[in-house]
Amino acid sequence: MSGLSWMYETYQSSIIALYGLGTETRQVIRQLGNDFEIAGLLDGYRTGGRLYEKDIISLEQALDMGVKLILVVARPGSCRAIARRTGKICQENQVALMDIRGNNLCEIKKVSYCFPDQKECGKSWLLKQAETYDVISVDLFDTLVMRQTMFPEDVPEIAQYRWQEKGVRIENFCGRRLESEKALSASSAPSLTQIYERAIADFASPGVTPEELAQMEWSVDYDLLVPRREMCRVISELYRQGREVYIVSDTYYTKEQIEQILEKCGIDFVTDCILSCCHHTGKKQRLFEVLKEKTGGKTCVHIGDDPDADIAAAQRNHIASLRVYSGAQLMEQTGYLGLWDSMESLSDRIRGGMFTSVLFNSPFRPEEGGEKICVRRADETGYLFFAPVITDFVLWSDRQITEYGIQNVWFTARDGYLIRKLYDSWKPDRYPVYFLTSRIAAIRAGVETEADIRSVGEMKYSGTLRQQLRERFGITAECECNDTSQTLEDFTAQILEKAKSCRKNYKKYIDGLPVREGTVAFIDFVAKGTSQMYLSRLTSHPLKGFYFLRLEEEYMRKTGLDIVPFYENEEKADSVMFERYYMLETVLTSPEAMVTGFDEQGAPCYAKETRRKKDISCLLRVQRGIERYFHTYTKLCPREVMHINKKLDEAILSLPGAVTILDGDFLNLKVEDPFFNRTTDLTDLF
């Protein structure tokens, strides 16, 4: 009873409810005896019937009955999922939501950018402890491998949408699936097929067999799973030193399926797998007894993340245990880095899991003794911080193009370089064009009047008039460096004469593009609309702009440009995007130098490259991380639930600086703006 003693002082005179229908709930009911008034049992997918001589009630019924405490009887991972579903309602009605260890599940830990202060965070510590044993027993899920989604319950939900894409709809799919698992697990350790046999037993002609349903869920989970690389290396090292390694896991997958997961994750250091569904018992029951029978009298230590199923259960069987933290546990202990309140949907939970699977792939604090959460590689920087919002912009652009029925799509150089690659992989049948341009190239070819030249001059250039004439207009003019009375208008004739040849050459390039009749979707990243305005004079096709962020919208309103921004004007004030878009522009850009114009054959002419080779190499590494994120997300997340979440994107983009980035090449990148002749250190933008 000592584990629940915290309840007596505050809640003994209150009406309580228990959340959970597993066998642990029955044990808690017995422990509480007659000391507490239990209104009933709650479950996320079942609101009727009786179990353990208690009514199963809804959350609304619990509130009507005056419940003051909901005691969640579940694993820590499930507790987080339950808190997500019910926490807000409990807070609004002043109902405590606690787990059996006395933790307030409505309380989000204070945001921290440091690893938890735990000795178990060290790789060297774990190796030193484990190497004194003959046999290493290790948990699989959340210890050696992890899912790219926030909660295990997300797996059947994704499977549900996969079936819906195939035209198969089963009423209350997830509820039936999870309720069946709980019911069968009360007396045995079922296989996934057995779970689905029970789940659809009373469902009239679902059109699929239990075996097919089980195969779909396993296939979804297989795609979600990735190895925890450093953890795998530690166990592999122990194996190479001559120790036997057993995977001991509560799972409803077959041994063959587990072996496929191990092969995918490169785990080839296993003596044998001891699985609950093969031995019809779990870690909290007799699975560790099976391990002891297999290993005889050899000394053994079990390593896992779950304080009950791994640590306490092993110790009850007189097996030493060592705890490592799952990625989800590390995220929780750091207050989810401030991201929790922005996760609203299944799509967000997949993104959160993808984020966690990279940032907390390792359970170990950096060996060099640092406590701060670190990102070591440029590709991981791209994956973690920049990819989410870029992914949303690509998906948003596609929805706009589809909504407006546009057949021609131009992604403008250089910011459109990576975006076009992502879009082409998403919608290859659209044949998007990477349109070679720059503000400088568009102005050189597009200016037609003195008013145009005056407008360009209002965009202040950081340099001399001679430099501005050369860089912006491509002409070499004799002008007095110290004569401040001279302006661009004094060189109108030369500028307009140069523009004629630039315009002619640019049109040759455009005429060679595969353009169909109708409007062109002109995809730019952050811009006022200058390029679109001048380029519209070079083509007969109307240009409809789709921008990530539009600058100086009021100033450009008189131009009448047709532009739809991803970020509306009223969103800018409260958005970190306006402060950090320079970072995004820096990592999106092409490895090629800026286009300054075209020759007489319509071939592009490029400016002299000012970036170092190591800068471009770093840039491409960042982009590979963004591409990996995009392809992973679009593979894992069902299209029906893909959700654009700017709030989450912004929370993630605000993390560089708070989370320590260690890649020196990335930190040395510079933000170059040749149109204004300005250069900024990237780190100044953190």
> For residue range 609-630, what is the model confidence (pLDDT) as tens digits?
999 999 999 999 999 999 999 9
Distances 516 to 115, 433, 531, 542, 546 between C-alpha atoms, Å: 55, 12, 21, 12, 19
Which of 129, 178, 111, 126 minimizes the C-alpha distance to 151?
178
Amino acid at 600: E
Residue 427 structure tokens: 């919608």
Distance CA 289, CA 310 (A): 13
Helix 387-403 and helix 577-588: axis angle, to 10°?
A: 90
Distance CA 613, CA 682 (A): 17
> For residue range 303-342, what is the model confidence (pLDDT) as tens digits?
999 999 999 999 999 999 999 999 999 999 999 999 998 9
> For residue range 556-578, what is the model confidence (pLDDT) as tens digits?
778 889 999 999 877 776 778 88
How high is the pLDDT of residue 482?
54
H or E element that contains 466: helix 465-473
Q: Tell whether the torsion through CA atoms of 415, 417, 418 and 419 is positive or negative.
A: positive
The residue with tokens 């290790």 is 138
Q: Where are the alpha helices (DSSP H) in 37-167?
A: 59-64, 76-92, 123-130, 154-165
CB atoms within 10 A of CB 684: 9
Q: Tell whether the torsion through CA atoms of 126, 235, 148 and 658 is positive or negative.
A: positive
End-to-end CA distance of the chain: 51
Q: Kindly report which listed range (137-141, 454-458, 513-517, 574-578) carries the lowest average pLDDT score.
A: 574-578
Judged against a pLDDT cut of 50, whether residue 41 lies above it is answered with yes
Q: Where are the alpha helices (DSSP H) in 296-385?
A: 313-316, 327-333, 346-359, 378-381
The torsion region of residue 501 among left (phi > 0), alpha (psi -120 to 50) and beta comes to alpha
Radius of gyration of the chain (CA): 30
Tell me what the mean pLDDT of segment 400-408 comes to: 95
H or E element that contains 219: helix 210-224
Q: Tell whether the torsion through CA atoms of 383, 386, 389 and 392 is positive or negative.
A: negative
Distances 417 to 143, 383, 420, 451, 585 between C-alpha atoms, Å: 38, 17, 6, 32, 11
Which residues face 99 on adjacent strands? 72
> For residue range 172-227, what is the model confidence (pLDDT) as tens digits?
899 889 889 888 887 889 999 999 999 988 776 678 999 999 999 999 999 999 99
Number of H helices, E strands in the chain: 29, 24
Number of residues that make up the chain = 686
More confident residue, 576 or 380: 380
Residues 530 and 439: beta-carbon distance below 8 Å = yes
Question: Residue 118: CB partners within 8 Å, gap ≥ 6?
Answer: 325
Distances 399 to 406, 417, 521, 661 between C-alpha atoms, Å: 11, 19, 12, 34
Residues 56 and 46: beta-carbon distance below 8 Å = yes
Amino acid at 259: E
Distance CA 622, CA 615 (A): 11
Count CA within 13 A, CB hemisphere, residue 495: 27
Distance CA 100, CA 548 (A): 47
Choose the most confident range, by mean pLDDT, from 68-77, 148-157, 194-203: 148-157
pTM for the full model?
0.90
